[in-house]
Amino acid sequence: MSLHTLRPAVRQLRTLRAVRAHSTHGSSASFDPLEVSHFNALASEWWDPHGSSRLLHLMNPLRLQFLSSCLSKHGDATKNMKYLDVGCGGGILAESLARLKGTESVIGVDPTPEVLKIARGHMRQDPALQRRLRYVGATIDTLEKVLAEEGGRELKEGWEGERTMFDVVTTMEVVEHVPHPTRFLKECMQHVRPGGWVVGSTIARTWTSYLTTKLVAEDILGIVPKGTHDWNKYVNANELDSFFRGQDGWGGKHGEDIVFLGCAYIPGLGWKMVPGGEKVGNYFFGIRRNSE
């Protein structure tokens, strides 16, 4: 079963809007009022363990497992880590990253104000997150501008030219929604320090994913608004692989630091890593910037 079959409509709308924001550079005011009211109705469920985001919550530990497997590949230090989570939504991943033992700071970025309100409200429920986690209303393109406006360049020591640098940039369930995945990923990669990682997840463009996310979820069950997914935008692991291999200074000498791993939700068992599953449905990807 694919995540997209059951993924919450909230996130669909959020990422959809993120896509628009990406493509129009922040002209996010032109939201469909119908979508906004739909979203408002669902937003309160983001952190409801039995709400529409349940599957995403259940998937979260696997994201951290994958991340930790990437970091341990080179025995990379996991102390004083700085993370950037692009498309953070309600903060499911961002909060977890901020709670990890070796984390110094996490910045969650999302262009949708309603979603960030949920994220910021939920963050206040955990004293451990204060001073470690911060949400910024921006896209990856506008991040620097917004950080400068907010006067929040506390990560100054990590600066490289014009960009704030991070140890890891994460982007979960986003690339399949952006109009130019490779351009989007390149933007993410420009925020990674040498020896750091981009880690994300997405879904393969296969007959299985077409059936589950387009035909069943949108056309038959209607649990996802029609047109939310553009199946043609789904990204296959081999496509990402060839893109990653073309990036100078990334992925090791022979692509050994480019990682893919499939995962699937199995009813009764929960989310499981499925090696080879990247060819079928949901999968994680990771690429390391070579150390200098």
Q: How far is the CB of 78 from another protein (least distance, A)?
A: 12
Draw the binding track, 107-136, toward another protein (x: CB under 8 A; -: no contact): --------------x--xxxx--x------
Rounded CA separation 227/23 (Å): 17
Under 8 Å between Cβ of 288 and 252? yes
Helix axes 92-99, 113-123, angle to 10 degrees: 30
**By CB under 8 A, is residue 51 in contact with another protein?**
no
Q: How far is the CB of 42 from another protein (least distance, A)?
A: 18
Choice between 131 and 226, CB closer to another protein: 131
Number of helical (H) and strand (E) elements in the chain, helices listed first: 10, 8
Contact with another protein (CB under 8 A): which of 26, 36, 57, 158? 57
Choice between 79 and 124, CB closer to another protein: 124
Rounded CA separation 44/237 (Å): 34
**Under rule CB under 8 A, which residues in 153-182 are in contact with another protein?**
none
Question: How many chain residues touch another protein (CB under 8 A)?
Answer: 21
Contact with another protein (CB under 8 A): which of 95, 176, 257, 278? 95
Q: How far is CA 241 from the centre of its chain?
A: 18
**By CB under 8 A, is residue 60 in contact with another protein?**
yes
C-alpha pair distances (Å), 25 with each of 47, 128, 170: 29, 34, 20
**By CB under 8 A, is residue 61 in contact with another protein?**
yes
Rounded CA separation 285/210 (Å): 20
Residues that bind another protein (CB under 8 A): 49, 54, 57-58, 60-61, 64-65, 95-101, 121, 124-127, 130
